[in-house]
Every structure is written in structure tokens, then in C-alpha cells.
Amino acid sequence: MSQRDINRNRATLKAFMGRLCFATLATNSIRLRIDDQIRRGYIWIDPPWVFSRELQEITSSNAYSEKSFREWCKLCDPLRETLLENFNEEENGSLTFIFRDGYRLFLPADLESYEQPGSDYDHWYANDETT
């Protein structure tokens, strides 16, 4: 994750503020679908990430286990249907999504991936296509 990700996606994130989102997990990646079926807005997040509430860690992408996937997914139930209230961006490229009831999803800076010449990997991205 880098400042490049934030710069590319800032306008879309701002458009998603105050809207409902619905999380699904694919291994240890998260897709946050925005609103309803009419709009195809979403945020896709690859590891690493940390899910918390009021500074108490609930789980992280590192805690993923194929053997206990269903139990691990239940830890993320508060994201199944929630409100995306805001986001905080840091100068180093880290980002925190802030949800209803004090839940947070922290994406640390991942500068190593971006220092490689020709790398266009995006740790996360947002899409707001209207059908």
C-alpha cells in the first residue's frame, strides 16, 4: 500500500463515505461492496490488514487459516453490513477505514512492493462503476 494507491482512489473513497457496505472474504482478501446491486461500487483489499474496534485488535489477514476459515470469517461479521463513515490517510501511505460502531480496518504501508522498478501492484483499490 502506498500514497500512490490513496492518490488513485481518494475521489472514489470520498464518494463512498456515509454509504452502506457489505463485506465478503476471499481467503484473506476483503471485498467491500458499496450500496446495492444497481451500483457496482466496491473496495478490494489484499493483505496485510488489521481489523479492530476501539484500539482492540479483533483479527488480521495474518490470522487467516484454511482449516478454521469459517470461524475466522465470523470475526469479521461486523463488516458484513455496516456504514463506511470515513477514512484516515497517513503520509507514509497507510490507510484506516472507519466504520459504524467504532470498527476500523487498518492497511499498513507496504513500500517494499513499490520500490521495485516497473511494479504496478496495488494493495487495494476502489471502483465505482454505474451499470
- Coil vs helix vs strand at 67: coil
Q: Could you report the per-residue pLDDT of 31-55, keeping only the tens digit for each?
A: 999 986 556 799 999 999 999 999 8
Q: Could you report the per-residue pLDDT of 73-88, keeping only the tens digit for each?
A: 999 999 999 999 999 9
Q: How far is the C-alpha of 7 from the C-alpha of 10, rounded, in Å?
A: 6
Q: How far is the C-alpha of 26 from the C-alpha of 21, rounded, in Å?
A: 16
